[in-house]
Structure 1
Amino acid sequence: MYFNIMVKITNSLISFKQGLGIMTLELKLTLDCPRCGNKLTLREYNKYVQLYCDKCNLSVTIRKRIILMRHVDYDDDVLDWSSALDFLYSLLKGKATASY
């Protein structure tokens, strides 16, 4: 069974997808891709979080565990998504400007 629910929230588009028992969350962001300028999408699934561009396929994927270790204040049980997103964006920006 597959379903897709979309909700418009301010300047973001949230999409919940379920297929084969795996739930994913996709959030269309107002952040621009450092390579092509397209709007980026944040995807959360299984054990990973991914920031990617639909247009040029630039992406960075990290384990949720890294987010939890770096961006959770366990004294207050608060996840700082702002700093987590900044971290992901800095990784993506580094990947966009890297020369191989």
Structure 2
Amino acid sequence: MSITIEWFAFVEVFLAAIVGASLVVGFYALGLRLLVRAGRIPVVAPAEFTDAITIISTKEAARAEKAAAKAARKSPLTDGQKRFALVGAYASFVLCAAAVLAGLLILLLH
């Protein structure tokens, strides 16, 4: 019994994984960047975790929300530019989801 490796198939899967991961991370990062430029800074509420994870207090969370609101007010962009950035952010998130769905579709078809 002899085991052979199809190196071309291996390289094809490797390149597809690298390109797919780059697209997902790139579109997500661009979406977050545009979301911040649009003045919609995502603030995550504190959660209760165990072990070695640092937990922020409600006071620190309120301070972060206040800083985010202040940064949104100080934005040099006009309302039209903010709206354009927000549309771009949503489009980036849609492209990120499309890249994930395309990868799943490719897996299902093979």
Q: State the TM-score, normalized to the length of structure 1.
A: 0.26
Q: Which has the higher strand share?
A: 1
Q: Which has the higher helix share?
A: 2
Task: Report which structure shows greater RCO (CA 8 Å, sep ≥6).
Answer: 2
| Greater gyration radius | 2
